[in-house]
Amino acid sequence: MFPKFSLRSMFHGAGGGNDIQWCFSQVKGAVDDDVAEADIISTVEFNHSGELLATGDKGGRVVIFQQEQENKIQSHSRGEYNVYSTFQSHEPEFDYLKSLEIEEKINKIRWLPQKNAAQFLLSTNDKTIKLWKISERDKRPEGYNLKEEDGRYRDPTTVTTLRVPVFRPMDLMVEASPRRIFANAHTYHINSISINSDYETYLSADDLRINLWHLEITDRSFNIVDIKPANMEELTEVITAAEFHPNSCNTFVYSSSKGTIRLCDMRASALCDRHSKLFEEPEDPSNRSFFSEIISSISDVKFSHSGRYMMTRDYLSVKIWDLNMENRPVETYQVHEYLRSKLCSLYENDCIFDKFECCWNGSDSVVMTGSYNNFFRMFDRNTKRDITLEASRENNKPRTVLKPRKVCASGKRKKDEISVDSLDFNKKILHTAWHPKENIIAVATTNNLYIFQDKVN
């Protein structure tokens, strides 16, 4: 037995090893099955306090929900999330010079920690990152001397007395404005953005390069990783995700299509092509198949809140790595192992290339990721118990506890189980997010956003 390195959760609040009962809370989006492409949700992210929840879609739009203040009288559940702001972040573009269509799809949203009354977030499509300021306006000036209330100018000769304009309350207006546009730094498609713990810089990663930006400077960017080979025919792997360490401002990781993760230290050199650590699980060469490399491709990498661990998601599993141990993960959780005997058809319908994300709960004791048939999975690192739940409108009575689901891999299907062949591979949950402090999760199906909460007694 190899010694267990996991850190026992210090906080037994959110998700600390006790069996949580998840209840439906809300669902957002259209009911009809006819999904317009623009409505496909492409990213979901809570802000640092969990009060705001942002979604991005294929149509380039961002919708931000705000948690309402808890109703002291009716403490059945935590506050609901209602629409706070929505805006068009990115527009489609066509690069006529390169014959390249630039999708407006929002690949990632990352929130900045709140410094003043306004909220800031970074949103990115394949090519351009934008810094958005979301601010509230609940007062407006009234009583100008030279202007009427409707804006028309008054004839100065008709003014006989002077008054001091005053601010009067108005209906809350939430405005989103683009404050910075970080463009023209990526030849390939941006897959990740990550804000540094210094809150001044951030990185953006595409298939072959990672750039470092300063939030105030848009006309310059430093390239910190470049894996483009001199001869493109020698290309063997691409960057799939990248993230800054939550506490060490000099450290970041990036994952590859070959299942490796490289940790880099920016103090070592300006160009971090040489990694400080290489995380890779050894593979038995006799087990290798045509699919091995494809299913080992890492689709997401996330540091734990503590910074001690990182989690990677490949096609069939979730792996937890201790940053102090490079040669293998400390924990591996099978998401949907029953798909291993379906790889041929999953390759044919391209599902094998689906990029699932993963996330930690606030205390790093539970991890979550999505699967097919609108199922999502949670793994409790302490109890080693896992659960499969479904995001479906059938369970949409508030405070109804979700029933665990089970997939029958082979043989006799028990009642309430679903067989592998009945799974709907068009219903994929690629994006999930966990509130930083509470047991509230946001789960995105193709075009709907579900919010679940744990049962509050």
Q: Which is nearer to another protein, 145 or 324 (CB)?
A: 324
Q: How far is the CB of 63 from another protein (least distance, A)?
A: 5
Dump the DSSP string for 178-238. EEEEE-S--SS---EEEE-TTSSEEEEE-SSEEEEEETTEEEEEEEEEE---SSGGG----
Q: Which is nearer to another protein, 114 or 332 (CB)?
A: 332
Contact 65, 84 (CB under 8 A): yes
Output the CA torsion sign for 102, 103, 109, 115: positive
Nearest to 40 by CA among 393, 451, 446: 446
Amino acid at 234: E
Secondary structure (3-state) at 300: strand
Q: How far is the CB of 450 from another protein (least distance, A)?
A: 11
Q: How far is the CB of 238 from another protein (least distance, A)?
A: 6
Q: How far is the CB of 371 from another protein (least distance, A)?
A: 16
Q: Which is nearer to another protein, 57 or 243 (CB)?
A: 57
Counted residue by residue, the chain has a size of 457
Amino acid at 183: A
Contact 414, 408 (CB under 8 A): yes
Q: How far is the CB of 292 from another protein (least distance, A)?
A: 7
Find the farthest-apart pair of alpha carbons in the chain and give their distance in angstroms, rounded: 94
Here the tokens at position 414 are 């028990």
Q: How far is the CB of 6 from another protein (least distance, A)?
A: 10
Q: Which is nearer to another protein, 251 or 369 (CB)?
A: 369
What is the Cα–Cα distance from 272 to 388, expressed in whole angstroms? 39
Q: How far is the CB of 170 from another protein (least distance, A)?
A: 21
Q: How far is the CB of 289 from another protein (least distance, A)?
A: 4
Q: Which is nearer to another protein, 99 or 457 (CB)?
A: 99
Secondary structure (3-state) at 148: coil
What is the Cα–Cα distance from 15 to 155, expressed in whole angstroms? 66
What is the Cα–Cα distance from 402 to 396, expressed in whole angstroms? 9
Coarse DSSP helix, strand, coil percentages of the chain, rounded to the nearest 5 percent: 10, 40, 50
- Enumerate binding residues for another protein (CB under 8 A): 1-2, 4, 28-30, 38-39, 41, 55, 57, 59-61, 63, 83, 86, 88, 91-94, 96, 99-104, 126, 188-189, 207-208, 232-233, 235-238, 257-258, 284, 287, 289-294, 297, 332-334, 337, 340-344, 347-348, 384, 447-449
Q: Which is nearer to another protein, 168 or 385 (CB)?
A: 385
Q: Which is nearer to another protein, 104 or 243 (CB)?
A: 104
Q: Which is nearer to another protein, 38 or 401 (CB)?
A: 38
Here the tokens at position 160 are 């006989």
What is the Cα–Cα distance from 135 to 117, expressed in whole angstroms? 7
